Amino acid sequence: MNEPSNLSAHQKPTNELPPKAKNHFGKRFGFLTAKEYAGKDKNGKARWTCICDCGTEVVAPANGLVTKYITSCGVCSKKANGLKRRKQHRNTPLYRKYWSMIDRCQNKSSKVWDWYGGRGITVCDRWRKSFDDFVEDMGVPGPRMTIERIDNNKGYSPENCRWATMQEQQRNRRDTVFLTFNNQTKCLADWAKELNVTPQALSYRVRNGYSTEDIFTKPFRR
């Protein structure tokens, strides 16, 4: 098992991936998973910050990762228990949810970057550095549950996250429409369910400037 060499920072790390440079984000190299471009060394060689399966964070040259000269942090054998837990989770939906969370906040090539990292949404250091800490704080979700931020303008952290169903997530979207009638406030989808009409029917009335009274009391075409 080879150890990273010459890992001292000769240049200030940066998340700006140079044009034409290979994007290794999320790729596995032995026990290492690349998570962030870390700038160049004094010889102009690209480096990547990686997380070892044992939880250790290292900065390694990209060519060392690609050629498999560097495959671990070099000390993960001393943390066998942590390594075993990660191997158990590696191909699970929970592990994929974890890396998907980090990807959309740190990888500028992500298709949803503009809605997450692009607008300042980050992952707290505790979770970014440790999958085990993430699981310890959040627990294992039930079927079809995804991670939800309680405040959509804040990042991913124990204080601002919970597991939620897709229906619950929809209610917390920034663009969800809420309507108040008879001193009750509900999202448009919940009102549609109560009125036994389609959400599109209510949405049509909202978009076309119906008064609140007309939205709820005017007969719908069946």
Same-domain pairing of 72 and 127: no
The full DSSP string for 28-94 is: EETTEEEEEEEEE-TTS-EEEEEEETTS-EEEEEHHHHHTTS--S-S-GGGGHHHHHHHHHHTTSHH
Q: Which residues contact 127 (CB under 8 A, 6 or more apart)?
A: 98, 101, 133, 134, 137, 156, 157
Residue 146 lies inside a defined structural domain of this protein? yes
Residue 183 lies inside a defined structural domain of this protein? yes
Given its phi and psi angles, is residue 67 left (phi above 0), alpha (psi -120 to 50 degrees) or beta? alpha
Same-domain pairing of 197 and 212: yes
- List phi, psi (to 5°) of 47: -130, 155
Residue 102 lies inside a defined structural domain of this protein? yes
- Say yes or no to pLDDT of 84 above 60: no
Residue 182 lies inside a defined structural domain of this protein? yes
Structural domain of 99: 91-175
pLDDT of residue 105: 93
Listed residues 25, 56, 79: the one ending a domain: 79
pLDDT digits (tens, 9 = 90+) for 109-122: 888 888 899 999 99
Same-domain pairing of 185 and 162: no
Residue 222 lies inside a defined structural domain of this protein? no
- Higher-pLDDT residue of 4 and 96 is 96
- Establish how many alpha carbons lie within 13 A of residue 154's alpha carbon, considering only the half-sphere containing its beta carbon: 12
Same-domain pairing of 159 and 190: no
pLDDT of residue 82: 53
pTM over 0.85, yes/no: no
- Say yes or no to pLDDT of 9 above 50: no
Same-domain pairing of 102 and 155: yes
Residue 37 β-bridge partners: 48
How far is Cα 127 from Cα 132, in angstroms, rounded to an integer?
Answer: 8
Short-list 1, 169, 134, 131, CA closest to 54: 131
Residue in this structure with the two tokens 């690209």, named with its chain if needed: 46
Compute how many other C-beta atoms are within 10 angstroms of the C-beta atom of residue 8: 7
How far is Cα 78 from Cα 57, in angstroms, rounded to an integer?
Answer: 15
Same-domain pairing of 6 and 43: yes
- Lookup: tokens for 8: 């001292």
- List phi, psi (to 5°) of 116: -125, -95
Residue 55 lies inside a defined structural domain of this protein? yes
How far is Cα 159 from Cα 47, in angstroms, rounded to an integer?
Answer: 32
Same-domain pairing of 169 and 105: yes
pLDDT digits (tens, 9 = 90+) for 163-179: 887 666 655 554 456 77
pLDDT of residue 64: 87
Q: Are 34 and 13 in contact (CB under 8 A)?
A: no
- Tally of domains within the chain: 3
How far is Cα 46 from Cα 38, in angstroms, rounded to an integer?
Answer: 7
Residue 32 lies inside a defined structural domain of this protein? yes
How far is Cα 22 from Cα 14, in angstroms, rounded to an integer?
Answer: 15
Listed residues 79, 105, 138: the one ending a domain: 79
Mean pLDDT of the region 143-148: 85
